[in-house]
Structure 1
Amino acid sequence: MRIAISIGLLTFLVAVGCYAYEGVIRPDAPVPTYGIVVFTIGVAALVVVGVGLMGLLFYSSRHGYDEPPRYER
């Protein structure tokens, strides 16, 4: 089963590499408008998620949520 999954993933990797290579050897090919829009939305979503996670990290650190539990007897 592991070999089949590895072969499938390697095939997918080779296909993506061939597709990327085709894009690199044609530098004069224009990027369609929807490609720019999708790329911009992806970058904006990545920034929002990164800022949100860093905010949660600082919030939990400042409010003591990262401290080990203390049990009183």
Structure 2
Amino acid sequence: MVDTKNDTKGSQKLGLGQALLLTTLFAMLVFAIVWGMLAWTSAEGAEMSIHGWIALTLGTTFSLVIGCGLMALMFYSSRSGYDDTATPKFRKPDAPTK
């Protein structure tokens, strides 16, 4: 006989707080999408000069280079063992000395 009241494998019902949080987050998402669409379509007649395009290109390129560079440094640091001393509880025990 299976006890269905204490079965943790089945789906759980949302509590009032969780439902309220999900509703609030969904409303914020809808608001952001609507606001973005209105902002995008409100600037139909605006044109950007060549200086604006250069600034946009340089800013985007710089952000991507910095982001990729920092991620590469993070992976290099993690794989080469530099991060081991920063977390002593995960450090492997030293080999016994004779």
TM-score tier after normalising by the smaller chain length: 0.5 to 0.7
Instruction: State yes or no: 1:47 paired with 2:94.
Output: no
Amino acid in structure 2 at the alignment position of 1:58? F
User: What is the total number of aligned residue pairs between the two structures?
Assistant: 52
Matched residue, 1:6: none
Percentage of pairs with the same residue: 40
Amino acid in structure 1 at the alignment position of 2:74? L
TM-score (norm 1): 0.57
Q: For structure 2, which runs of at least 5 residues remain unmatched after alignment? A: 1-38
1:4-56 residue CA offsets vs partner (Å, 9 max, x unmatched): xxxxxxxxxxxxxxxxx8xx744202111110110000000000000100010
Aligned partners of 1:38, 1:58: CA distance in 2, in Å? 30
Between structure 1 and structure 2, the one with the greater Rg is: 2
Aligned partners of 1:41, 1:53: CA distance in 2, in Å? 18
Q: Which has the larger helix fraction? A: 1
4+ residue runs of structure 1 moved beyond 3 angstroms? Answer: none
TM-score (norm 2): 0.44
Matched residue, 2:83: 66
Aligned partners of 2:43, 2:64: CA distance in 1, in Å? 30
TM-align CA RMSD: 2.5
